[in-house]
Chains A and B, each alone.
Chain A
Amino acid sequence: MNIFDILGPVMVGPSSSHTAGAVRIGYVTRTLLGEKPVKADIALSGSFAATGSGHGTDRALIAGLLGMKPDDIRIPDSFQEAEHEGLAFSFRNVRIPEAHPNTALLKVEGEGGRKAEVQASSLGGGRIMINKLDGTEVHCSGACPTLIIRNQDSPGVVSEVTSILSWKRVNIATLQLYRDRRGGSAVMVIETDQPVQKETVSMLEHLEGIERIMYIRCGMTPASIGGE
């Protein structure tokens, strides 16, 4: 843990897990969607459901969906901002068995008709974990640049992706593979040491067997650990 995990982050209160982490979940969901969201159906589970409103978790999630970062002073007024931006949203409480106590499930639709379903939890200190993406289980924190690639589960796809990355001098920090069933659709989560350039992403997109690529840039200071 470095010293800026101890002092910092600069954030809008009151709680690094219930507020700052929630903003990040919203922000990452927007990135994963890849366009401006116009509709969001948000389900809160566990402590997010129990004390979320008092901690501003609902406003924080919407703020993130609108592209705000955890230190944005407009977070408390995000509901009004959403109206301006044409984002319709709804909240409900759910029980997601075996999920982390601070978990949200966001179903979002973008202005161009894209859809995404993200289940993520806030681990404390503003750190988050994406647990599920469009129904497929994944594990990714979004703390470093991350490529999330949905591809056909066929031979050679993984090695083609990794060789393009190494050719573009992007070092892979971690690589995870998930799939629903053999030969079906699979998900690659690749965390990298260097940011991935736009043209590299579009090269990857043109590979055979790639269905969709989402990229999370390391745009947010890795928030600190810590309490609330």
Chain B
Amino acid sequence: MSYSSLEEIVQRCTREQIPFWKAVLLSDMEDRDAGEKESVAAMEQLWKAMQEAAASYDERRQSKSGLAGGMGGQMQMYLEKGGTLSGSFMSRVIAEALKMGESNACMQRIVAAPTAGACGVLPAVLIPLKEAEEIPADRMIEAMYTAAGIGQVIASRAFIAGAAGGCQAEIGSASAMAAGALVSVRGGSPEQIVHAAAMALKNLLGLVCDPVAGLVEVPCIKRNVIGAVNAVSCADMALAGITSRIPPDQVIDAMKEVGESMHISLKETGEGGVANTPEAEKIRKKLTMI
């Protein structure tokens, strides 16, 4: 049976003396009646696809609407010059998030995590970390399980689609997954993992889904950046011993409540928020003419 609360996972970890990722792996094997090898091989495939997607970024690509393309390259150039405000690791995170978001908009192959719109968040934190610290591949697969386990609980208690719960459900969930994954890489405890996730989700509570002209480009690509950067800071807080004052599962429930009360114009209809600005209207008109 898959888990319906983060608490349940933490309890199993304590009971069976296993790490968080292992509890997720075991439940996947039970769930799908799959062997460990089979499950791990599938996860390795995803991790490989994620890295390939990152490597294949091309700054010359433009999306069909012309709204997306090139930002990842700009950020990369800027960070290579050195002296960025956010430091070299965080700048890499920002660049990766932009790149993946743009690749998605340009119809390249990506890994939905948990959705296509939020596909940049998880790789944006994992790939730069792997590069900076030469982390063994197993650690990264464990981090992927950790992220998946967090996402699964969010999906079962609340939602992970912008149309259902606003961007908090998409970028917010992705950020929670990424925060937990980072703590997992650093060998943090199950409690630290779920608290990192809770803080990340809480910080993005209320974020609306307002894609300009209904396209997964503006504000989506840059939202991947805030998801990723937020994940890094929440992981660091959790590793420092800071916890979420509200228990993690209750934060997820709060996200659900906020999502349900969110106006329909702010749930992927492209009718509210930045999608409802005069500039967005101009863009929409121009695009319907082509």
User: Which residues of A are interface residues toward B (Cβ below 8 A)?
Assistant: 1-16, 19-20, 47, 50-51, 53-56, 59, 71, 73, 75-76, 124-126, 224-228
Contact B116 A226 (CB under 8 A): yes
- The interface residues of chain A lying within 8 Å CB-to-CB of B194 are none
Could you tell me how many residues of chain B have their Cβ less than 8 Å away from some Cβ of chain A?
59
- The interface residues of chain A lying within 8 Å CB-to-CB of B64 are 53-54, 56
Given A11-B111, A53-B64, A227-B164, 7 extra CB contacts under 8 A: A3-B145, A4-B42, A5-B155, A6-B114, A19-B107, A20-B116, A124-B163
Interface residues of B in 80-124 (CB under 8 A from A): 103-119, 122
- The interface residues of chain A lying within 8 Å CB-to-CB of B287 are 53-54
Known contacts A14-B116, A19-B116; decide if A54 and B160 are in contact (CB<8 Å).
no
Interface centre among A15, A51, A124, A226 (most CB of B within 10 A): A226
For A51, give the chain B residue with the smallest CB separation. Answer: B214
Contact B116 A6 (CB under 8 A): no
Contact B151 A13 (CB under 8 A): no
Contact B107 A3 (CB under 8 A): no
Q: Is B74 an interface residue (CB 8 A)?
A: no
Pick from B63, B117, B122, B156: contact of A227, CB below 8 A.
B117
The docked-state distance in angstroms from the alpha carbon of A204 to that of B103 is 46
The docked-state distance in angstroms from the alpha carbon of A71 to that of B104 is 12
Give the 4 A-B residue pairs with the shortest CB-CB distance, closest first.
A13-B104, A51-B214, A226-B115, A6-B151
Interface centre among B114, B151, B163 (most CB of A within 10 A): B114
The docked-state distance in angstroms from the alpha carbon of A124 to that of B164 is 10
Q: Is B55 an interface residue (CB 8 A)?
A: no
The docked-state distance in angstroms from the alpha carbon of A11 to that of B278 is 33
Contact B160 A2 (CB under 8 A): no
